[in-house]
Amino acid sequence: MRHLGMAALAGAATLTGSVSVAAADASPAATIAQGRLAGASEAGIERFLDIPFAAPPVGGLRWRAPQAPPRWAGLRDASKLGAACPQTVRPALVAGGVAEHQSEDCLQLNIWRPTGARKLPVMVWIHGGAHVIGSGTFPAFDGTAFARQGVVLVTINYRLGALGYFAHPALSAAKPRGEALANYGLMDQLAALRWVQKNIAAFGGDSRQVTLFGESAGAIGVTTILAQPEAKGLFARAIVQSGVGLLDPRPLAEQEALGSALAVRAGAPPAASLDALRALPAAALVAAGEVKTPGAMVGPILDGELVREAPWRVFARSEPIDVPLLVGANSNEASVILGMGVPPAAALAYLGADQAAGRAAYGTGLADDELVRQVLGDAWFVAPARWLAARTAGGAPSYLYHFDYVAAARRDRAKGAAHGSEIPYVFGTLDYLASVAGTVGEDDRRFGEGISACWVAFAKTGVPGCTLIRSWPRYDSANDRLATFALQSSVVAGFRKAQLDHLLRIHFGSGQPRP
């Protein structure tokens, strides 16, 4: 389905003896199978950073499934953030993050816990960034506020762009037995979840109470994992923020052709060997990925082994991993779609052949630019979120939300809540938001505490009750109720029903997306 659901937005790891005995005595410690860790502590919150969950994917391990993580002797310094995976440095975008410190040796995760943590719920965050930018080290993803509310927070890195989602005939020809191809970033996400299952008890976390959550490309990771039967048992709950992932991934053969062209742009010969590909500098591959091929998008690939079909098809059959689900989108998602270069005229195509009926669903008084903004946001994010909540409602409960809160200092000029703008509220990192977007007021901070508590309640109990939404009903298509987060948060029935029904009827027909 390449229309309504194309939300594919967007030092060696074996460090030893690097912490002095005196520093170790003053530092929180943890022992895992790989070795001993010395973290850092401040105001009752302990953090363990730059922990490798897989071997460095360099040299012969570039474009391989993640391998067993390294071990070390003595104490490993886990007090400082590590490198992000290779990518183009973007401006300070909240959704994915800035990543000025980079290395191909980047498969690490970060953990925050309250002092004395014992059998606490765990939340594992997959960052967004269109599968090409971002990192788990971004300041907006700091886990301190979550830890203060009694959960263990984990952020992860995963391979991006041409290093994370890449196919090439030479790779297919040399495929190791038992390993999948192409979806290396997705494999990293799964490897991190397996690491958490094995090791999180050492940090006071309960491996039976893991909530997997992500935004944008990270949310596509969540929905793709939900469609993987092999991932059952790796998490108990899931949150999908602005990126349902109702898309048809490209088949392997098509991606091989795109990968061959990218490799040539990076400096490889037309029929490059695997050794020649692995000799390419990471920076050259990142730069080559910046050249836009018409119709090409980075993200999960139909390799036939790990990703065997489009995830939406699994949901359409009501066969995903059955766990409580929290899903929603923001009121100005068009901010990212238009920023990606999608022409405004494309919005008209989403209204269907009967343009008059489509415009009527949105109200005839809308100016064209406002119609475009609403249609693009609904088609790419809001309508698919409702569809996903409906398709999963028959099993474990699903909860649907719409985020429409804008900081007081921006309300006079913002058209709504931009893509990714919920993140600093959910994470309690509004100081970072203030540093890049201006003043944040006390009302904004109180709202942030409220919505963060909803996410934490869901992680603890599977029900997102909190002071902002005291009685959040599970989603049911018959009642069609969701929680709106706004200046006055509330539960609303039939939210944007005419608009969403029109889009879903055209693009989803009888309830299943059309390819």
- Helix-helix angle 355-362:497-508, to 10 degrees: 150
Average pLDDT over residues 12-32: 53
- Separation between Cα atoms, residue 313 and residue 99, nearest integer Å: 34
- Is residue 247 a part of any domain in this protein? yes
Q: How many domains does the chain have?
A: 1
Examine residue 151 and state whether it is found in any structural domain, yes or no: yes
Could you tell me the pLDDT band of residue 26, with boundaries at 50, 70 and 90?
Answer: low
Predicted confidence at residue 509, as pLDDT, reads 61
> 384 lies in a domain?
no
Q: What is the pLDDT of residue 10?
A: 35
Distance CA 454, CA 444 (A): 16
More confident residue, 151 or 335: 151
Pairing of β 152-156 and β 120-126: parallel
Whether the pLDDT of residue 386 is over 80: the answer is: yes
Confidence of residue 485 (pLDDT cuts 50, 70, 90): very high
Q: Which amino acid is at 422?
A: E
Question: Is the residue at 228 inside a domain?
Answer: yes
In a domain, 4, yes or no: no
pLDDT value of residue 98: 63
What value does the mean pLDDT take over residues 82-101?
76
Three-state SS string over 441-492 comes to CHHHHHHHHHHHHHHHHHHHHCCCCCCCCCCCCCCCCCCCEEEEECCCCEEE
Q: Cite the active site residues.
A: 216, 333, 419
List the CATH number of the domain containing 215.
3.40.50.1820
Residue-number span of the structural domain to which 196 is assigned: 11-323
Within-domain flag for 177: yes
Entry pTM = 0.93
Map residue 38 onto helix, strand or coil: strand
Q: Is there a domain that residue 206 lies in?
A: yes
pLDDT, the chain, mean: 90
Handedness of CA 314, 315, 320, 326 (dihedral sign): positive
Mean pLDDT value of segment 350-375: 90
Confidence of residue 61 (pLDDT cuts 50, 70, 90): very high
In the predicted model, what is the mean pLDDT of residues 369-398? 95
**pLDDT for the residue 352:** 87
Q: Is residue 328 part of a domain?
A: no
pLDDT confidence of residue 3: 38
Give the orientation angle of helix 355-362 with respect to helix 368-377, to 10 degrees: 90
- Region 129-152: what's the mean pLDDT? 95
